[in-house]
Chains A and B, each alone.
Chain A
Amino acid sequence: MDTRRGALAVPKVRRVGFFTPTEPPPESSQRPNRSQSGPVEATTSSSPLSDSPSGNLISPVLIPPSRHHSDNLTSHAAAPVPVPGPAAFRRYLAHDRSLHVGSYNAPDSLLGTSPPSSNGEFSEDSVSLFGFQRSDSTKLSASFPNGGFDLTLAVRAPQESETIIETASASEGKKKIAEVSGKSESVTTKPQKEKEPKSLKDKTTKAERRAIQEAQRAAKAAAKGEGKRHADESVEANPGKAAKKPQPKKERPPISSSVSEKTAVAVEKEKRMDVPQTQMQYDDKSRVDKAKRRAVVEQTETKNKVELFLHLPQYERGSQLPNLSSNFFTLDTIHHAVYKVGLQHLAGDISGDNARCIAMLQAFEEAIKDYTTPPMKDLTMDLTTKINGYVSFLIECRPLSMSMGNAIRFLKNQIRKLPVNLSEPEAKASLCSDIGRFIDEKIILSDKVIVQHAVSKIRDGEVLLTYGFSCVVEMILLYAHEIGKKFRVVIVDARPNLEGKKLLRRLVSRGLDCTYTHINAISYIMREATRVFLGASSIFSNGTLYSKVGTACVAMVANAFSVPVIVCCEAYKFHERVLLDSICSNELGDPDAVANIPSFSTKAKQSKMMDNNKNLQFLNLMYDSTPSEYISMIVSDYGMIPPTSIPVIVREYRRENLLL
């Protein structure tokens, strides 16, 4: 078995390109070990991919499993690698490979000197090594010819007490060399790598962090005047905070000369200009740091984030609320009404898109009422910046929904279009009335129109299925009951929010005939349903419905049972963006809500243990996207339209919307 497997396991194809003639002997000597550790196929071909998070960051060409450089890593660290070239690159690869196997197969580890428990850390470190950002790599490649890098390494090395750090810096150096040697792979893999660094900081222990910091300071001293990068600035400005949250970036010594740095920044900026960034990507370190410095709310990032969703903000819940509410009377930049709404969003007191949007608009209205233009400033400009500040505060509390984004856009546009000759009280009054009109016409009145339209689709004897809680759907059901239609309602609900209970309570108290079930039973209960009514958070211009997580499941099951799916959505929630999946744009909820099951509440200890488990990540997605082919009809204030007509509404009425 073993021999056969061995023969099969190392396909010749794999060796193309990266194998030197010296490699085969160690390869064969390692083979028995591998077959012990698991299926050979996995280790030879796909272990870097499946094994550690860094695996999927390596482009396929980097995979070659050569192990002939199985010498101790620390020796690598001690010896600065002076020769840039393919040989160094290969060594770098080999080193990387050994790291992976080390973490994969403990007895086989080449890092016999390091404690066995550090296996995970090692793999994480290797991740972070890959994870240097675009800016860094450009800077590095620019700075390499100076030779400054070797110098800093030499400065750094004595400072570091732990082998982990040393290996980190050493292989980092190799990375630089690899990049300098002009391998295109490193360029292609960079975008993926960006999201990695975050995971490192959670894994380092206190001592390590201190070591990192010390190393950093020493490096800074060595490269005087060069540490202009804002990350380091923030470290200086707020050392306490930095100690709490060491960024992997800080491990890297600031080595580049100021000139090359400037060019690198310029390149970076150009790159950013090319790609329009609509949303902040939370795996983009520098932007996050920038945002953090401006932040009012001090958020702690959660541990154990799911890799696919690193670009979304995820903070620990519960800690910041008391802190914020104590700040309530000391704040100056944020208007108290906005602050209140922000806290309500944070605490989850206001949920539901319409309610959130109305609360926000009303807070803005109040803020505008209390607003006075500072001397020597223009109302239009100053108020817009004020509103921007409020909005970023609200985003810190909870990411905005699409509808809120639309409402904000409306308000800003309204401010921009204020006639210049208007006096301040007049301008304020006009803005307030605009906000009031928006709430009345776009939300309240359009709900009424939707109810009128949707009720015409309810016939006697029908079974209407709805998912979760949507206030428009509730209004439709109550109104249909009021006008004497005979129907039955099936409410499908899902953990962890169980919003459907609220709907159930309200409907039952009004005397409607209801069935309550969880989404697990959807395929069973769908047999009975004749119509599915769904609420929406937003609808994008390709007809994709963006709604509470689980909606897509309901719509797809309904489609499979050929039950018409009716989506009720106000037109102000339509968005001109195109959404293809639920990954790019989403919101992460409290992961503990998924972990904590009410009936198991006694096992708090167990859940704590689960929290600290590195192999376990909780994902509480708030939204999902339903492709348009699963939607039969959209009921909006423009009538009943097919999902293919969303772009028409957006195109024809967006301008009018803003004019209002």
Chain B
Amino acid sequence: MWRSSASFILDKHLNNKPISITHSIDSPPPPSASMADENPNPNPISAYYETRAAHHGIVTSEWLEQAQAAVQRYPDRENSVSPVSGSPFSVIEEFNSWRQQPDLAEAVAAIRALAAVIRASEATTMMELEIELKKASDTLKAWDTTSISLTAGCDLFMRYVTRTSALEFEDFNSAKSRVLGRAEKFGEISCKARRVIAILSQDFIFDGCTILVHGFSRVVFEILKTSAQNKKLFRVLCTEGRPDKTGVLLAKELAKLDIPVKLLIDSAVAYSMDEVDMVFVGADGVVESGGIINMMGTYQIALVAHSMNKPVYVAAESYKFARLYPLDQKDLEPALRPNDFNVPVPPKVEVERSARDYTPPQYLTLLFTDLGVLTPSVVSDELIQLYL
């Protein structure tokens, strides 16, 4: 899968521009409040969506700058503070410390944590290392079963790392360093993915178009930001994104970039669909059928757009490709999230708390991934090639 990564575009496009969001891989951010005490996560509320909410609560451009400055301030930390510092290594801790970075996707955090596992490993044979890695990835996956990208990222990492040919012919140390190299490459590709997608999608945004977005997807934001930087003239309609009001946040960010933006309530999608030229959504996970799992409301937007013949574009990094095949909405592990209605919910009234829905592939037009621009049916091809 990764061999076909379209990241060469990145190199071509941006050979003189610095990549703004690439962090050096080997430097974990300063660990702050540890939330690794629950393992496996007993919380019925989806940790994935909690984290996202937390991130979105603070993701502002100022904050990003600060965080980046903070990261850049400690480029040499890595040398002084080795991950193997005598204390027992915990993959969860590592993962959570990575996760603190608001701009780092959960899967990438997991990938980095697993790379750290390899680095910290004291195994002496490849088998031992593999088992250790497997255990770590299982722990990570068990920590939050509702997060598709975490699971998919771990699986893909395992595949990518352990699928090196000629491992048997080398001595352990060189094999380990090769695995480590692959792990780092994987992390790097995952990191660049968002930029790649942003560049790939530029061909689809034309001057004067109106784009409907739903929720706060960092990839979609990146796309829009890149378009604005490329001096494209377009208008964005943001849904409100209840209950966590992610759409409001996105609107705020876009307004800062001087992009004309209009905020809609979630139920006004059909009303304003006729002035929309294309729909952009992110994805929490891309499943085997080519459909996506995303924030609640994506399905209905896709349905409306499909019935009005508007293209629906999905921006998703390829580490979100998961070997799942939901047949309908209920065919997923439920990811629950507190739902605030602003008014007291009367007793005896049930509240739908699911955080995500499944959009079948027939309602999607194209998927922008770092492997290229794909039709939904290609997702399964890529997954088959990778996993089988």
Residues of B within 8 A of A459 (CB): 330-331
- Determine if B138 is an interface residue (Cβ-Cβ < 8 Å): no
Interface residues on B, range: 10 to 19
Residues of A within 8 A of B361 (CB): 642
- Which residues of A, 364-395, contact B by the 8 Å Cβ criterion? none
Contact of A642 among B290, B323, B388 (CB under 8 A): B290
Name 29 interchain pairs, CB-CB below 8 A, sorted by A: A459-B331, A531-B327, A566-B327, A632-B289, A633-B325, A633-B327, A638-B388, A639-B288, A639-B384, A641-B288, A641-B325, A641-B384, A642-B288, A642-B289, A642-B290, A642-B325, A642-B380, A644-B290, A644-B380, A645-B377, A645-B380, A645-B381, A645-B384, A648-B380, A648-B381, A648-B384, A649-B384, A652-B388, A653-B388
Which residue on A lies nearest to B328, using beta carbons? A564
- Determine if A272 is an interface residue (Cβ-Cβ < 8 Å): no
Minimum CB–CB distance from B354 to chain A (whole Å) comes to: 16
- Determine if A457 is an interface residue (Cβ-Cβ < 8 Å): yes
Q: Report Cα–Cα, A652/B384, bound state, in Å.
A: 9
Q: Report Cα–Cα, A633/B380, bound state, in Å.
A: 12
Which residue on A lies nearest to B375, using beta carbons? A644
Q: Report Cα–Cα, A57/B323, bound state, in Å.
A: 53
- Which residues of A, 611-657, contact B by the 8 Å Cβ criterion? 632-633, 638-642, 644-645, 648-649, 652-653
Q: Report Cα–Cα, A645/B331, bound state, in Å.
A: 21
Q: Report Cα–Cα, A641/B379, bound state, in Å.
A: 10
Q: Contact between B288 and A638 (Cβ–Cβ < 8 Å)?
A: no
Q: Contact between B327 and A652 (Cβ–Cβ < 8 Å)?
A: no
- Determine if B32 is an interface residue (Cβ-Cβ < 8 Å): no
Which residue on A lies nearest to B360, using beta carbons? A632
Q: Contact between B384 and A564 (Cβ–Cβ < 8 Å)?
A: no
Minimum CB–CB distance from A328 to chain B (whole Å) comes to: 46
Q: Report Cα–Cα, A508/B328, bound state, in Å.
A: 29
Q: Report Cα–Cα, A353/B380, bound state, in Å.
A: 27
Excluding A632-B289, A639-B388, A649-B384, 6 further A-B contacts by CB distance (< 8 Å) are A457-B327, A459-B330, A564-B328, A633-B327, A644-B290, A652-B384
Q: Contact between A642 and B377 (Cβ–Cβ < 8 Å)?
A: yes
Which residue on A lies nearest to B290, using beta carbons? A642
Residues of A within 8 A of B288 (CB): 639-642
- Determine if B385 is an interface residue (Cβ-Cβ < 8 Å): yes
Q: Report Cα–Cα, A640/B331, bound state, in Å.
A: 14
Which residue on B lies nearest to A635, using beta carbons? B325
Minimum CB–CB distance from A598 to chain B (whole Å) comes to: 38
Residues of A within 8 A of B377 (CB): 642, 644-645
Residues of A within 8 A of B384 (CB): 638-639, 641, 645, 648-649, 652
Q: Which of B288, B323, B385 has the largest number of chain A CB atoms within 10 A? A: B288
Q: Contact between B385 and A648 (Cβ–Cβ < 8 Å)?
A: yes
Q: Which of B288, B323, B331, B388 has the largest number of chain A CB atoms within 10 A? A: B388
Minimum CB–CB distance from A283 to chain B (whole Å) comes to: 37
Which residue on A lies nearest to B331, using beta carbons? A457
Residues of B within 8 A of A645 (CB): 377, 380-381, 384
Minimum CB–CB distance from A241 to chain B (whole Å) comes to: 53
Q: Report Cα–Cα, A145/B235, bound state, in Å.
A: 78
**What is the interface size of chain A, counting residues whose CB is below 8 A from a CB of the partner?**
18
Minimum CB–CB distance from A587 to chain B (whole Å) comes to: 30
Which residue on A lies nearest to B377, using beta carbons? A644
Minimum CB–CB distance from A645 to chain B (whole Å) comes to: 4
- Identify the 10 closest CB pairs spanning chains A and B, nearest first: A644-B377, A640-B325, A564-B327, A645-B380, A648-B381, A642-B289, A648-B384, A642-B380, A638-B388, A641-B380
Minimum CB–CB distance from A559 to chain B (whole Å) comes to: 11
Q: Report Cα–Cα, A645/B288, bound state, in Å.
A: 10
Q: Report Cα–Cα, A570/B331, bound state, in Å.
A: 24
Residues of A within 8 A of B381 (CB): 645, 648
Q: Report Cα–Cα, A642/B364, bound state, in Å.
A: 15
Residues of A within 8 A of B290 (CB): 642, 644
Residues of A within 8 A of B387 (CB): 639
Residues of A within 8 A of B385 (CB): 648, 652
Residues of B within 8 A of A638 (CB): 384, 388
Q: Report Cα–Cα, A445/B385, bound state, in Å.
A: 21
Minimum CB–CB distance from A569 to chain B (whole Å) comes to: 15
Q: Report Cα–Cα, A205/B288, bound state, in Å.
A: 63
Minimum CB–CB distance from B307 to chain A (whole Å) comes to: 15
Residues of A within 8 A of B289 (CB): 632-633, 642
Residues of A within 8 A of B328 (CB): 564
Minimum CB–CB distance from B346 to chain A (whole Å) comes to: 28
Residues of B within 8 A of A640 (CB): 288, 325
- Which residues of B, 262-293, contact A by the 8 Å Cβ criterion? 288-290
Q: Report Cα–Cα, A531/B331, bound state, in Å.
A: 12
Residues of B within 8 A of A531 (CB): 327
- Which residues of A, 228-253, contact B by the 8 Å Cβ criterion? none
Q: Report Cα–Cα, A42/B381, bound state, in Å.
A: 54
Residues of A within 8 A of B323 (CB): 639
Minimum CB–CB distance from B358 to chain A (whole Å) comes to: 12
Taken residue by residue from 287 to 323, chain B's Cβ proximity to chain A (1 for < 8 Å, 0 otherwise) reads as: 0111000000000000000000000000000000001
Residues of B within 8 A of A652 (CB): 384-385, 388
Q: Report Cα–Cα, A566/B326, bound state, in Å.
A: 12
Residues of B within 8 A of A566 (CB): 327
Q: Report Cα–Cα, A477/B95, bound state, in Å.
A: 42
Q: Report Cα–Cα, A642/B380, bound state, in Å.
A: 7
Q: Report Cα–Cα, A639/B387, bound state, in Å.
A: 10
- Which residues of B, 198-252, contact A by the 8 Å Cβ criterion? none
Q: Report Cα–Cα, A531/B328, bound state, in Å.
A: 10
Minimum CB–CB distance from A563 to chain B (whole Å) comes to: 9
Q: Report Cα–Cα, A457/B288, bound state, in Å.
A: 14
Q: Report Cα–Cα, A459/B329, bound state, in Å.
A: 13
Minimum CB–CB distance from B183 to chain A (whole Å) comes to: 26
Minimum CB–CB distance from B39 to chain A (whole Å) comes to: 26
Minimum CB–CB distance from A276 to chain B (whole Å) comes to: 27
Residues of A within 8 A of B380 (CB): 641-642, 644-645, 648
Minimum CB–CB distance from B203 to chain A (whole Å) comes to: 24
Residues of B within 8 A of A457 (CB): 327, 331
Minimum CB–CB distance from A421 to chain B (whole Å) comes to: 29
Q: Report Cα–Cα, A282/B290, bound state, in Å.
A: 42
Residues of A within 8 A of B327 (CB): 457, 531, 564, 566, 632-633
Q: Report Cα–Cα, A424/B325, bound state, in Å.
A: 48
- Which residues of A, 511-550, contact B by the 8 Å Cβ criterion? 531
Residues of B within 8 A of A653 (CB): 388
Minimum CB–CB distance from B357 to chain A (whole Å) comes to: 15
Which residue on A lies nearest to B327, using beta carbons? A564
Residues of B within 8 A of A649 (CB): 384
- Which residues of B, 127-162, contact A by the 8 Å Cβ criterion? none
Q: Report Cα–Cα, A385/B348, bound state, in Å.
A: 77
- Which residues of A, 557-576, contact B by the 8 Å Cβ criterion? 564, 566
Minimum CB–CB distance from A333 to chain B (whole Å) comes to: 42
Q: Report Cα–Cα, A423/B343, bound state, in Å.
A: 85
Taken residue by residue from 362 to 388, chain B's Cβ proximity to chain A (1 for < 8 Å, 0 otherwise) reads as: 000000000000000100110011011
Taken residue by residue from 325 to 348, chain B's Cβ proximity to chain A (1 for < 8 Å, 0 otherwise) reads as: 101101100000000000000000
Residues of A within 8 A of B388 (CB): 638-639, 652-653
Residues of B within 8 A of A644 (CB): 290, 377, 380
Minimum CB–CB distance from B360 to chain A (whole Å) comes to: 9
Q: Report Cα–Cα, A165/B259, bound state, in Å.
A: 87
Minimum CB–CB distance from A460 to chain B (whole Å) comes to: 12
Which residue on B lies nearest to A543, using beta carbons? B377
Q: Report Cα–Cα, A649/B383, bound state, in Å.
A: 11
Q: Report Cα–Cα, A645/B384, bound state, in Å.
A: 8
- Which residues of A, 42-67, contact B by the 8 Å Cβ criterion? none
Q: Report Cα–Cα, A110/B323, bound state, in Å.
A: 74
Which residue on B lies nearest to A629, using beta carbons? B362
Residues of B within 8 A of A633 (CB): 289, 325, 327
Minimum CB–CB distance from A133 to chain B (whole Å) comes to: 43
